[in-house]
Structure 1
Amino acid sequence: MSSGLARMALLGYRMAGVMLYPLVGPYLSYRAMKGKEDRSRRLERLGYASLARPRGPLVWVHAASVGETIAILPMIRELLRREIHILLTTGTVTSAGLVQSRLADEVIHQYVPLDLKFPIKRFLSYWKPDACITAESEIWPTTVAELARRHIPQIRVNARISDRSFERWHNYSSVAETLFEKMSLVVAQSDMDAERFRDLGAWPVIVSGNLKSDTDPPPCDETVLGVYRKQIGNRPTWAAISTFEGEEKLAATVHRTLKPKNSQLTILVPRHPDRADAIEEMLKGEGLKVARRSRNDVISAETDVFLGDSIGEMGLYLRLTEVAFVGKSLANEGGQNPLEPAMLGCAVLSGPHVQNFRDAYQHLVRKGGARIVKDVEMLAKAVHYLLINDLARIKMVDSGHDAMEEMRGALAKTVKALEPYINPLTVSARLQPKATAAASR
């Protein structure tokens, strides 16, 4: 595709958005009925602000969902320390809840506007950001074009491109180049990601490592943790976390296989808790007794599966075990983040399909903190081995900690890369009259 055709394709995308705009209101209302939008704040998705813009420099930071938000929390705190206002947008109700619990009133939170001409122009005209920092992998053509038109620097941090996304962009290389060349800076997770961004037209591109390795372990309520530890007692436990459809069935198979040998408790944490009712029915159909976190069920000696169907409590579930299988890797593809279980003292197990977290798994496996299993039989054997072999389990846990220490440093590299864009804003913020600064807060 030529550059002219690429521009026409992007113009067609933009015009399609204009024509579909009248349908956006009903669409958002439907999503709100399904619990996928905050009904009271859905106008934010149309670019209408619900809060006042403070005076002084402001950086727009976007993180699509919970994982991306957690990854950039330390970076946001660094920017706040430099006296810069942060407008943080996210795309999901759960990520908005996370922002409220972790950052409270330290940042201005809004839902990200839809990638349509009128919402984006309305959003940018009101907030007038001095820079835009986006986490990980999303590319929104209308937003990219409008930021470029207003000469607002676009910076991508903790950037990665999955195999599938790279292939798709590569097939439309002229469109990709038209968009990616508008980025002011890309800070990539790995050498492979950096090379892919360069191939698609981004420049400059540097490598920082994964910001998730510099995050704090997910928190938990110590009182709740104590209650569940008392209920579990001395029973061995293992967890299957961030599971997708099909993997809960595999976890049930592992549990039934090992129960005569270990009498273990299985902790099952689906990636999408709204599937919990269907998962519970499946587990009961397998003859298993289930306790659910959302009901505050008691874990008794007869409980087979503790179903972690709450949001934002991964820190609780991982502190209840030392063996964790990470999902979207056996029955699905792409993988999920293995760094949190490694941080919290778990021996990590995973299926082979982990391309979205390739570097993290390679490092953990090389150090001995993670093991890849090819099927449910191999998973059952690995879980059993780790439950009965304390030395092997402790060695994996310690190796995981060592791997995490080696992977740290992405935050410092990212902040250093941002300095040419951030330092002038810090100077400007500090030159603001004190009365004005106080009023802006």
Structure 2
Amino acid sequence: MPLSLGLAMYRALSWRTAQPVQDPPPPRPRGPLIWMHATSPERHLALRDLGARLRAQRPEVNLLITVNASVPVAAPWRDPVPVPVMSDHPLAVRAFLDHWKPDLCLWTGGDLMPNLISLAADRGTVMVLADLEARDLPRRRAGWLTDLTRPCLERFGAILTASDAAATQLRRLGVSGARIEAHSRLLMGVSPPPCPDTALTAAAQALSGRPLWLAAYLQPEEFAPVLAAHRDALRFQHRLLLVAVPAEPGETGALTEAAGAAGLRFADWHGGDPIGEEVQLLICDDSSDLGLWYRMAPITFMAGSLAGGATGHAPFAAAALGSAVLYGPNIADHAEAYARLAQARAARAVQDAETLAQAVVQLSAPDHAAAMALAGWDTITESAAVTDHLIELIQDLLDRKEARDARA
């Protein structure tokens, strides 16, 4: 495809930029390779889920997930390990494509890299753009930026927008409507943590119908404010039970000390302590039990979000299992997920012990928590159709490419 004026100027200018030094890439596996690019932490999680489902249906496919600077790569990710792509320098782009030789690219969101996208398409990579929002696009058609954006968009054979507004904006930019499909946001699918029915039955019997709320992934810095919030809530709900799950099992001792200092009577779930009416705090030192507690608790405070320097934990599992979600102000790693739930009124932000206690008391009314739980379920399931459609689309495009390659 001939280069537009804007793209030609961009490419010429990009030769003048410094080429960053990057670590050597891992070896390319044999067989077809799908390259997925994430432009945000939540899109990265969504692509990991989509890729796992795709490989379950098409085991011969290899996955490459690349990320931009907004996605942390230091986490101990399992295969596939995300590969940072920070440079659109022509030499870096050529080296990337020469090494990986992707059969299909699934790009999510904006932050388009013109050299990388145009050269990949020119080399025969099947190009799909998904989860494109209106904010990812320029608002006006004229000018340098739009002249650069439209040629990038035209390299994609299919564009799935996250809203009708984004689809309308694409058409205003002159993108062919035949390639545009309006959908909802692409979100991480949820495979809720398992819980045997026998465990649910045993917990229900042990708790004897006590009202409860859950604090999941508690950090040591959060012990004092969360326990203080529970003490305040007990003034209004004297039978209320807090189930506390620390982020690390080794922190259980510090949690029991904090509970003693707060004057709370506690029991050890795995220690087999009896849970009488006098028990106010139940400590569970195994996060693998969260599948049980998400199902049992109508309210979940997603900890790792209250103390300074925290970055939050993914909230979708709790929401998918019917728990209203509370969270603190420090959720940088999962900001999009919380914003999505908050917009649907399935999650609520708290700032400190006082606002946490107020939220717990208010949501102890069953109708309030149930309304939030229903909104959370709707939010989780609305993107399932997008994921299913993308998997079918990718399968179809790969089949067509294999047929073309066989005829060549």
TM-score, length of structure 1 as denominator length: 0.59
**What does residue 85 of structure 1 align with?**
61
The answer to whether the aligner puts 1:356 opposite 2:318 as a matched pair is: no
**What does residue 343 of structure 1 align with?**
320
Question: Contact between 1:9 and 1:175, CA under 8 Å: does it hold in 2?
Answer: no
Question: Contact between 1:144 and 1:179, CA under 8 Å: does it hold in 2?
Answer: no
Which of 17, 21, 26 is the equivalent residue of 1:48?
26
Distance 1:394 1:110, change over 3 A: closer
**What does residue 178 of structure 1 align with?**
148
**What does residue 134 of structure 1 align with?**
107
Question: Contact between 2:131 and 2:162, CA under 8 Å: does it hold in 1?
Answer: yes
**What does residue 70 of structure 2 align with?**
none
**What does residue 191 of structure 2 align with?**
217
- For 1:119 and 1:153, the matched residues in 2 are separated by 20
Q: Is the partner of 1:414 in helix, strand or coil?
A: helix
Larger radius of gyration: 2
Mapping for residues 199-278 of structure 1, pairs under 5 Å: 204-212=179-187, 215-220=189-194, 222=196, 229=203, 233-234=207-208, 236-240=211-215, 251-260=226-235, 261-267=238-244
Computed over aligned residues only, the root mean square deviation of the Cα atoms, in angstroms, reads 5.7
1:272-305 deviation per Cα after TM superposition (whole angstroms, max 9, x unaligned): x8xx97xx69x949945899x9xx9758667858
1:101-144 deviation per Cα after TM superposition (whole angstroms, max 9, x unaligned): xxxxxxxx354254356775444323321111134566556644
Question: Contact between 1:208 and 1:413, CA under 8 Å: does it hold in 2?
Answer: no
**What does residue 324 of structure 1 align with?**
300
Distance 1:375 1:202, change over 3 A: farther
- For 1:299 and 1:10, the matched residues in 2 are separated by 65
- For 2:108 and 2:286, the matched residues in 1 are separated by 27
The answer to whether the aligner puts 1:60 opposite 2:25 as a matched pair is: no
Distance 1:61 1:321, change over 3 A: same
Question: Contact between 1:211 and 1:410, CA under 8 Å: does it hold in 2?
Answer: yes
1:46-76 deviation per Cα after TM superposition (whole angstroms, max 9, x unaligned): 2231x6312xx43223457687345553465
**Which runs of no fewer than 5 residues in structure 1 stay unpaired?**
26-45, 100-108, 433-441
Distance 1:110 1:398, change over 3 A: closer
Question: Contact between 2:35 and 2:66, CA under 8 Å: does it hold in 1?
Answer: no
- Of Structure 1 and Structure 2, the greater helix share is in 1
TM-score, length of structure 2 as denominator length: 0.62
What amino acid is aligned across from residue 182 of structure 1 in structure 2? C
Question: Contact between 2:46 and 2:186, CA under 8 Å: does it hold in 1?
Answer: no
Question: Contact between 1:113 and 1:123, CA under 8 Å: does it hold in 2?
Answer: no
What is the CA-CA distance between 1:424 and the residue it aligns to?
A: 0.4
The answer to whether the aligner puts 1:112 opposite 2:83 as a matched pair is: yes
Distance 1:419 1:137, change over 3 A: same
Q: Percent identity?
A: 20
**What does residue 411 of structure 1 align with?**
387
- For 1:243 and 1:159, the matched residues in 2 are separated by 35
**Which runs of no fewer than 5 residues in structure 2 stay unpaired?**
68-72
Distance 1:226 1:403, change over 3 A: closer
